[in-house]
Chain A
Amino acid sequence: MKASYLGKVIEYFNPMQSLDEKRKQWYVDRPDNPHEEIKVLLLHDPTPLKILFSGHIGSGKSSALNRLTADPEIKNGFFIVQFSVERDLNIFDLTYSDLLLAIGKRLFDEADGRNLQLDEKLLTDLEKWTAEVSVVRKKEEGADVAVKGKISAWFLSAVGTLKTGYSENKEFRQKFEPRVPELIVFINRIIHAIQTHPGGGKKVLLVIEDLDKPPVDVSLDLFLTKGPVLVQPECKIVFTVPTSVLYSGQIKVVQQNFPMQYVLPNFKIKDPAGDKSDTAWNCMRDIVLRRLDAPLIDSEALDYAVEMSGGVTRELIRIIQAAALRAVVTKANAIQRVHVDHAVVKFRGEYSNQLTRQESVEILREVHKTRQLRSKDEKPMLDLMHNLMILQYPNGPGWYEVNPIVRQLIGV
């Protein structure tokens, strides 16, 4: 499936589009993708490993996690519970206790949904406990509901309260938070029940998505302050986290609880000295050439788009789409360098709007000079990473560089 005219290029290079089964022929693997390493670790590490998984916005994290959970060996080896916090929790007001509650709910529901019979003792204890930790709203309770139904309804009601009721969730949290240790015990009993189920129990693998989206302070609170609690579920868990957690000054503290951290790297299209790295460069070219007929883009234009993308997939997609738009408007038959220039100038304007503090300019200049991330004040630096003004090239001898589109704005 390749674009054969510019209108199709606009369609096929839509930055909203992630790769699915229909478009898998567009997938280009990156040279230092941690997929295999994570897979081996999950399959062979005997401990209830916790992995923090990160990457720049637009680097393809969701696709990578989908690929991981769709891997036959992983599917075969694990009882996989994959969910987004957005579905269950109030994204405006997310705490560690809420997250644990969502984990408990998902595990219980998945076990129930896959007809795993949990033992009676566990169910009775859970019922007793949930009755004690009452939820403010009790609509779901009913005299004739079976035990499992009652527990499920309790979880539903609890997360429902957290998701929607501002005043109610405060009241509920006050009651519930002192009992988080008890919840963790129940989570571990459910995990144990799933893993030792007579019908051929499998190890539990939790994949929790969208934890990279809350504000930085919320993420730091979860993984820094509440890290010791979040690692207590006795199963393997992959958390998606914002890069700011991995690159904060508190990383040593985070590492104590989450020693395994992986970053989906950007394509290292240049080395730290600024010289072109052919392998990654050609991968980026390949991403484009798998989606359009080669005559639709001039080779020099393609190289310039790759260079300006900084190795970030979605940025490359966006540049090509914008260049194609320009080519269509100027009635060209193919994307030329001048069209990519136009796109780059436009995106530079967007960054210029965001770059309003002299302090940020100084940080960027320092990063460009040293290829390191050093600043007295952490927050503006992390914000610059989030906004893709600073790009990170991790794994192996990692380094940082200023987004090529931004460099002109800081005079380097």
Chain B
Amino acid sequence: MSGSLSESEVKATGIEWLTTRDREAVAEIVALVANSRSQGCVYFGICNNRLKVAALEAELAKQLRIHGIETAPVVLAERSESEGQPAYRVLIADPVAYFATNGPARPTLFLVRGLPELIRSEITEEGSGPAPVSQRLNYGREVFRHQVICALFWIDPETSRYLAERARDFWSFRSGTSQFDDGPCEPGAPSEVRGDWQSEAGSSRWHGDLQEKLSQLAAYRSKSPRDESSIASLLLEIGRIRTEQHDLQAALEALHDAEETFDRLGNRRQLSNVKTRLSWAYKVAGRLDRAEECARAAIALDEELHDEASLAADYSNLSQLYYARGELDEAERWLRKAIALDERLGNERALASYYNNLSQIYDARGELGEAERWLRKAIAIGEPLGNERALAIRYNNLSQIYQARGELGEAENWLRKAIAIDERLRNEPGLATRYNNLSIIYKARGELGEAEQWLRRTIAILERLADEPHLAIAYNNLSQIYQARGDLAEAEQWLRKAIAIDERLGDEPNLVIDYNNLAQIHKAKGDLAEAERWLRKALALAETKGSADALATVKANLESLAE
């Protein structure tokens, strides 16, 4: 459709921290606080990444403002380094006393940071007994009810365990907890979770061995003479587990300790392992510079040791760092080195991921033939290995390639294979994307009835998931189906629903598309003045917030209007 933009053209700018699940959790917290004004509430958010916490707090503040509720930050304690050791600065030792005297005059959600740091600080000082703050909260929990305090405590999984054991009565007051993934989400076209991290370090909720490793570490440290090699090996394992738990500060501490010991002992193999783990931890933390430094150090060590299996993983890791930066040539160069090694070693599981990732690099360049070739190799090698969720993504990616070429029959075939898997796995977010993509295929064929039917399925899921950002896109797409039918009133109605969401979310790149599309509806109605007004709104935004494609489209539409 001339002048209109569809989902495939929507590109996110900058880092998008909040996933659909995050937004749902935010919506739940907002609903809780909005309905707890007369008696207060206690809620826990589990997240280690400060940037993510900041993004969540900003979203909460935005959503709560609509309900006339303010947010107020409270920091109990902060962590810093002192001579290489963790040090804590306690700002509020007794949160109960703080809340007893700081009951807000207006409805407020207190965003409480630093409880894990306060507990650790007190444990360090007090020895083996419970941290005083845990007892204060346990005995003083009624303050939240009496003072009508709504509080969201940011904690980590370790602190949730601590509170459940040491401050049981306070913990039992909670309305709930939300666990947030620490990394940013990567919106846009669906792509596979990339690379060897997935196979090498599968995330598990079962971290039963951490406690065991910590106990072993304490035992080894108490022995004399100290077995430094074993201690460092334990620290390496602890660092690995803590990275999986996204307890990144503690992970980095453990890994750097291990690094120092192996370096001193001259154990090059273990030093390489530590560097690889450090690279991973820094990547998760968003520190790509440090991640690259560690990945290159691991490569140097493994080359020195002639350890080819480890080298392949190292090369792939470095490739991912370049891909994350958008440096596709370098990403390809390192990935091909990994592929060459693993093809010689016959490591099929890793190869399936590497082929898919290489396909993504070609896809990003628009080289669809090569993208298809590598994706088919990934599928061929991956199908017997049985990772269905990964397969569904690869089928979907292949469908996208066919769709981009206009081969809609093939695109549909592969998409339906992906849908069959996701329906079996009940992967609702995945299904919402697949149904939407199927709708786009039907629309491209002009089968608007089918297109609408699949899009309405998408909308039903997204509404159930309260996934507003994607709902705005889906509403926009439905509007275009109505527009294609010439039902301009319905088209405008759905588009205005999309605009309402995007304006509320402040999603300016999408608003460029919305405004442009609304202008097209007015143009089709013959209301050229209104069409121009919306195009100029779109242009004003596009000049600073839109993609180059969107800006070009809006300009072209304005010119066409003038003609």
Contacts and interface: CB of A to CB of B under 8 A. Distances in A.
A16 B165 contact: no
Interface stretch (A7-15, A45-53, A254-262, A299-307): A7-15
A11 B174 contact: no
Given A92-B129, A330-B465, A17 B31 contact: no
Contact of A16 (B31, B144, B176, B208): B144
Contact of B139 (A86, A215, A356, A358): A86
Contacts of B206: 352, 356
B139 A213 contact: yes
B466 A329 contact: yes
Interface stretch (A135-143, A186-194, A319-327): A319-327
Contacts of A213: 135, 138-139, 168-169
A125 interface: no
B210 A356 contact: yes
A16 B173 contact: yes
B39 interface: yes
Given A91-B135, A92-B132, A350-B177, A330 B35 contact: no
Nearest to B174: A15
A403 B179 CA distance: 21
B28 interface: yes
B166 A15 contact: no
B165 A358 contact: no
B169 A10 contact: no
Nearest to A10: B35
B145 A11 contact: no
Contacts of B466: 329-331
A86 B135 CA distance: 10
B463 A330 contact: yes
Given A11-B36, A353-B157, A92 B172 contact: no
Contacts of B138: 91, 213
B160 A354 contact: yes
Nearest to A350: B177
Interface in A69-95: 86, 91-92
A356 B164 CA distance: 13
Contacts of B365: none
A328 interface: yes
B31 A356 contact: no
Contacts of A347: 176
B395 to A, nearest CB: 27
B32 interface: yes
B36 A329 contact: no
A357 B211 contact: yes
B32 A16 contact: no
A356 B463 contact: no
Contacts of A8: 35
Contacts of A355: 208
Interface of A is mostly: helix
A349 interface: yes
Contact of B168 (A325, A346, A386): A386
Contact of A7 (B35, B141, B210): B35
B34 A7 contact: yes
Interface string B25-44: 00110011011101111100
B66 to A, nearest CB: 14
Contacts, number: 121
B463 A11 contact: no
A336 to B, nearest CB: 11
A272 interface: no
Interface in B31-83: 31-32, 34-36, 38-42, 46
Interface residues of A, number: 42
Contacts of B135: 91-92, 213
Contacts of B39: 11, 14, 16-17
Contacts of B177: 346, 349-350
B28 A325 contact: yes
Interface in B126-155: 129-130, 132, 135, 138-141, 144-145
A210 interface: yes
A325 B177 CA distance: 12
A14 B172 CA distance: 11
A322 B135 CA distance: 26
A15 B132 CA distance: 24
Contacts of B264: none
A354 B161 contact: yes
Interface in A296-318: 314, 318
A14 B41 CA distance: 8
A387 B141 CA distance: 17
A58 B173 CA distance: 9
A58 B175 CA distance: 13
Nearest to B464: A330
B24 interface: yes
Contacts of A19: none
A349 B145 contact: no
Nearest to A386: B168
A330 B25 CA distance: 11
B106 interface: no
B34 A57 contact: no
A356 B36 contact: no
A383 interface: yes
Contacts of B424: none
A31 B24 CA distance: 39
Nearest to B142: A16
B36 A10 contact: yes
A346 B176 CA distance: 8
A98 to B, nearest CB: 15
Given A7-B34, A331-B466, A322 B173 contact: no
Contacts of A326: 28
B173 A358 contact: no
Contacts of B176: 318, 321-322, 325, 343, 346-347
Nearest to A18: B145
Interface in B109-138: 129-130, 132, 135, 138
B208 A15 contact: no
Given A349-B179, A350-B160, A350-B177, A16 B211 contact: no
A292 to B, nearest CB: 13
A355 B160 CA distance: 11
B152 to A, nearest CB: 14
A15 B165 CA distance: 18
Contacts of B145: 16-17
B208 A356 contact: yes
A215 to B, nearest CB: 6
B100 to A, nearest CB: 13
Contact of A318 (B31, B175, B205): B175
Contacts of A350: 160, 164, 177
Contacts of A349: 177, 179, 205
B405 interface: no
A318 B27 CA distance: 17
A412 to B, nearest CB: 16
Nearest to B39: A14
Contacts of B42: 16
Contacts of A210: 139
B417 interface: no
Contacts of B40: 16
Contacts of A91: 135, 138-139
A7 B168 CA distance: 28
25 contacts: A7-B31, A15-B172, A16-B41, A16-B173, A17-B39, A92-B129, A213-B138, A213-B139, A314-B172, A318-B174, A321-B32, A322-B176, A325-B28, A329-B28, A329-B31, A329-B466, A330-B463, A330-B464, A330-B466, A331-B466, A353-B161, A355-B208, A356-B206, A356-B208, A358-B208
Query: Which 5 pairs across A and B sit closest by C-beta, in order of nearness?
Result: A10-B35, A86-B139, A329-B27, A325-B28, A328-B31
Given A213-B135, A215-B129, A357-B208, 12 more contacts: A7-B31, A7-B34, A11-B39, A16-B40, A86-B140, A91-B135, A210-B139, A213-B169, A353-B205, A358-B208, A386-B165, A387-B168
